[in-house]
Structure 1
Amino acid sequence: MTNSFHKSYLKFTAFVVGSFGPIFFLGTMLTTSEPARWSLDLLSWPIDGLQNYEAPTTRFLSALTGGFLFGWGIMIWCLQKWVYDLAPEGVRKSVLFGLCAWFCLDSAGSYASGNGSNVLFNVIVLLLAVGPLWKSAK
Structure 2
Amino acid sequence: MSQKFHKAWLKVTALIVGSFGPVFFLGTLANTREPARLTLDLLSWPIDGATTYASPDTVFLSALTGGFLTGWGVLIWCLSEWVHDAAPEGVRRAVLASLLAWFVVDSAGSLASGNASNAGFNILVLLLAVGPLWRAAKD
Aligning the two structures, in what range does the TM-score lie when normalised by the shorter sequence? Answer: over 0.9
Residue type at the aligned position of 1:46: P
Secondary structure of 1:114's aligned partner? coil
Question: In structure 1, how many angstroms separate the alpha carbons of the residues matched to 2:49 and 2:30?
Answer: 15
TM-score (ref. length: structure 2): 0.99
Structure-1 residue corresponding to 2:113: 113
Within 5 Å, which residues of 2 pair with 1:84-123?
84-123=84-123
Instruction: Show CA shifts across 1:32-77 (max 9, x none).
Output: 1100000000000000000001111100000000000000000000
Q: In structure 2, what is the Cα distance between the partners aligned to 1:41 and 1:77?
A: 29
The structural deviation recorded for 1:31 is 1.4
CA drift of 1:30 comes to 1.7
* C-alpha distance in 1 between matches for 2:29 and 2:14: 25
Matched with 2:26 is 26
Moved over 2 A (4+): none
In structure 2, distance between residues paired with 1:29 and 1:84: 36
Q: How many aligned residue pairs are there?
A: 138
CA distance in 2 between partners of 1:9 and 1:27 (Å):
29
Q: Using the TM superposition, give the Cα deviation of residue 29 of structure 1 relative to its aligned residue in structure 2, in angstroms.
A: 1.5
TM-score normalized by structure 1?
Answer: 0.99
CA contact (8 A) 1:21 1:66 kept: yes
What's 1:47 paired with? 47
Q: Percent identity?
A: 68
Which letter maps to 1:56?
P
Aligned residue identity for 1:86: A
Residue 58 of structure 1 is matched in structure 2 by 58
For 1:30 and 1:122, the matched residues in 2 are separated by 27
Partner of 1:129: 129
Which amino acid letter does the alignment assign opposite residue 31 of structure 1?
A: N
Structure 2: gaps (5+ residues)? none
CA contact (8 A) 1:21 1:69 kept: yes
Residue 30 of structure 1 contacts residue 54 of structure 1 at CA under 8 Å; is this kept in 2? no
Q: Which residue of 2 aligns with 1:38?
A: 38
Q: Which moved more, 1:89-98 or 1:29-38?
A: 29-38
1:7 alignment partner in structure 2? 7
1:67 equivalent in structure 2: 67
How far is 1:136 from its partner? 0.1
